[in-house]
């Protein structure tokens, strides 16, 4: 805490990991040698820079840009960019730290990074978004590269923003190798990349339920958020026979007692992705109840998939979910459950998957995009989707390997943390003190 003052999110993420690693390290003490743990929690490099751009009124705006290059022990730095006013070093350091374990779990050779800006894309014109992206990348480009650091999207950074940044990067570097993933299909993007995080989260929840002798079919699923991850979580949950009863944004929650169908999802996606509208606009268009200022967690559901942002599901929310009989919670977002929520979830033996396991499908498919670009090939949707499912099943098996308890239950938190840690730690030990 003394070395990272004012960084509560970072301390929260490190504490959660260290707590579950500690018994494992006690019985495998060589992992505490050579300053390994001290090195593991210190980012290799943090870049902070000024982003100046001109708004539609002709006024100069100044934002702060960052890239946290946490670990390249198992491959080039890899992780998304977030544009949101809440972005600061604490948030990005926690995300990069979590990314290290997640990327290791995918089994692909990817190190960990995360970046972004405190820029708020809400209410900005298309021109302003483009100028901001160009200004941002005109500094970041010198720190990234296809064998060094490969960013992607995250909150506030979707296909449009990745497109603008890729375009400017290509122009100023005169290169077209893969420095971004999540690109548009017409310039090197991978099929299924937009779907991958949401699909992967649902695949993972299904694996957990199947392992416990249950299935998603017929279950009531509650989803928070309504962005990239949430939309495709809705789609895959529906495809697997679940009834999706809600989505949300930071202003409120939509409740759909009968459940989403393909037509309703298409309308939601049109309003969110083409018109940059709100969940309330969708509720009005679909004639469904909207609860302003409420989160989804008081709604009765069997499976909860928090897919919005960090610390969006509190201890009280977890109590409400448990009271309503929730059976499984899989994090689509990064660290959406607070430490108090996780305590409540564990005390009540609810199946729980941390984001570093359940939302790893996005970065895994980014890894597949990198492979396709390097080979100058495009795989079919079926092929990418099959690989995604295989990777999610592999992560589930890794969690069982390190997280199974004597009573037959599974701690997916311990499983994911230890499995990810072992891979990174072995690589660090083999490479010496650097």
Does 99 belong to an annotated binding site? yes
**Nearer Cβ to ligand NDP, position 208 or 307?**
307
| Contact present, 248 and 283 (Cβ < 8 Å) | no
Q: How far is the CB of 218 from ligand NDP (least distance, A)?
A: 26
Handedness of CA 81, 16, 365, 113 (dihedral sign): positive
Provide the token pair at 370: 């990198």
Nearest to 37 by CA among 97, 110, 103: 97
In this structure, are strands 149-152 and 112-117 parallel, antiparallel, or unpaired? unpaired
**DSSP 8-state secondary structure symbol assigned to residue 83:** E
User: Other CB atoms closer than 10 Å to residue 338's CB: what's the count?
Assistant: 19
- Site for ligand NDP (CB under 6 A): how many residues? 24
**Residue 268, CA distances (Å) to 98, 249, 253, 351 in order:** 30, 12, 13, 29
**Nearer Cβ to ligand NDP, position 158 or 259?**
158
Q: x-or-dash pattern for ligand NDP, window 247-266, by CB under 6 A? A: --xxx---------------
Is 229 a residue that touches ligand NDP (CB under 6 A)?
yes
Report angle CA 391, 227, 93 to the nearest 5 degrees: 70
Q: Which residue shows structure tokens 């099959």?
A: 386
User: Known catalytic residue: 272?
Assistant: no
Applying CB under 6 A, the span of 13-21, 132-140, 301-309, 389-397 interacting with ligand NDP comes to 301-309
Candidate list 334, 358, 373, 417; residue touching ligand NDP; CB under 6 A:
334
**DSSP 8-state secondary structure symbol assigned to residue 410:** B
Q: How far is the CB of 196 from ligand NDP (least distance, A)?
A: 7
Candidate list 65, 189, 227, 420; residue touching ligand NDP; CB under 6 A:
227
Which residue among the candidates 114, 183, 236, 423 is catalytic per the annotation? 114
Q: How far apart are CA 411 and CA 209, in angstroms?
A: 14
Residue 124: left if φ>0, alpha if ψ -120 to 50, beta else—which one? beta
Nearest to 140 by CA among 235, 64, 202, 196: 64
| Contact present, 182 and 193 (Cβ < 8 Å) | yes
Is 134 a residue that touches ligand NDP (CB under 6 A)?
no
Does 78 belong to an annotated binding site? yes
Q: Classify 258 as helix, strand or coil.
A: coil
Is 156 a residue that touches ligand NDP (CB under 6 A)?
yes
User: Other CB atoms closer than 10 Å to residue 293's CB: what's the count?
Assistant: 8
Applying CB under 6 A, the span of 103-111, 211-219, 245-253, 401-409 interacting with ligand NDP comes to 245-253
User: Interface residues for ligand NDP in 303-322 (CB under 6 A)?
Assistant: 307-309, 312
Is 222 a residue that touches ligand NDP (CB under 6 A)?
no
Candidate list 69, 166, 206, 228; residue touching ligand NDP; CB under 6 A:
228
Q: How far apart are CA 413 and CA 146, in angstroms?
A: 31
Q: How far is CA 161 from the centre of its chain?
A: 17
Is 111 a residue that touches ligand NDP (CB under 6 A)?
no
Does 57 belong to an annotated binding site? no
Phi, psi of 181 (to 5 degrees): -115, 165
Q: Which residue is nearest to ligand NDP (CB)?
A: 227
**Nearer Cβ to ligand NDP, position 177 or 280?**
280
**Nearer Cβ to ligand NDP, position 37 or 313?**
313
Is 87 a residue that touches ligand NDP (CB under 6 A)?
no
Candidate list 89, 134, 253, 359; residue touching ligand NDP; CB under 6 A:
359
The residues binding ligand NDP (CB under 6 A) are 153-156, 158, 197, 225-230, 249-251, 307-309, 312, 332-334, 359, 362
Active-site positions? Answer: 114
| Residues of the binding site | 78, 99, 102, 153, 197, 228, 366
């Amino acid at each position: 805490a003394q070395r990272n003052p004012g960084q509560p999110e970072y301390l929260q993420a490190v504490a959660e990991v260290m707590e579950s690693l500690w018994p494992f390290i006690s019985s495998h003490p060589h992992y505490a040698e050579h300053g390994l743990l001290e090195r593991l929690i210190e980012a290799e490099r943090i870049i902070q820079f000024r982003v100046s751009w001109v708004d539609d009124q002709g006024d100069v705006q100044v934002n702060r840009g960052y890239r946290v290059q946490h670990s390249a022990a198992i491959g080039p730095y890899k992780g998304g960019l977030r544009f949101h006013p809440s972005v600061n070093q604490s948030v990005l350091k926690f995300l990069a730290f979590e990314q290290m374990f997640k990327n290791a779990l995918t089994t692909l050779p990817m190190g960990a990074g995360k970046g972004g800006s405190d820029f708020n894309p809400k209410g900005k014109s298309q021109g302003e978004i483009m100028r901001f992206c160009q200004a941002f990348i005109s500094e970041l480009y010198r720190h990234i590269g296809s064998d060094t650091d490969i960013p992607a999207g995250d909150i506030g950074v979707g296909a449009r923003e990745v497109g603008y940044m890729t375009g400017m990067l290509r122009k100023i570097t005169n290169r077209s190798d893969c420095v971004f993933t999540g690109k548009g299909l017409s310039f090197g993007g991978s099929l299924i990349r937009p779907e991958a995080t949401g699909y992967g989260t649902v695949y993972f929840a299904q694996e957990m339920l199947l392992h416990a002798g249950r299935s998603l079919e017929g279950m009531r699923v509650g989803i928070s958020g309504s962005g990239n991850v949430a939309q495709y979580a809705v789609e895959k949950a529906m495809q697997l026979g679940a009834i999706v009863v809600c989505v949300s944004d930071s202003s409120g929650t939509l409740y759909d007692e009968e459940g989403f169908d393909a037509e309703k999802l298409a309308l939601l996606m049109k309003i969110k992705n083409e018109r940059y509208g709100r969940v309330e606009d969708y509720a009005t268009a679909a004639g469904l109840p909207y609860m302003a200022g409420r989160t989804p967690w008081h709604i009765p559901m069997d499976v909860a998939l928090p897919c919005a942002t960090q610390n969006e599901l509190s201890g009280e929310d977890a109590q409400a979910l448990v009271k309503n009989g929730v059976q499984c919670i899989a994090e689509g977002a990064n660290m959406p459950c607070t430490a108090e929520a996780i305590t409540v979830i564990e005390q009540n033996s609810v199946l729980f998957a941390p984001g570093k396991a359940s939302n790893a499908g996005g970065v895994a498919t980014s890894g597949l995009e990198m492979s396709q670009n390097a080979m100058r090939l495009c795989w079919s949707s079926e092929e990418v989707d099959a690989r995604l499912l295989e990777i999610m099943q592999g992560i589930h098996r890794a969690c069982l390997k390190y997280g199974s308890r004597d009573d037959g239950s599974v701690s997916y938190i311990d499983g994911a943390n230890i499995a990810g840690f072992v891979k990174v730690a072995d690589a660090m030990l083999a490479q010496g003190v650097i």
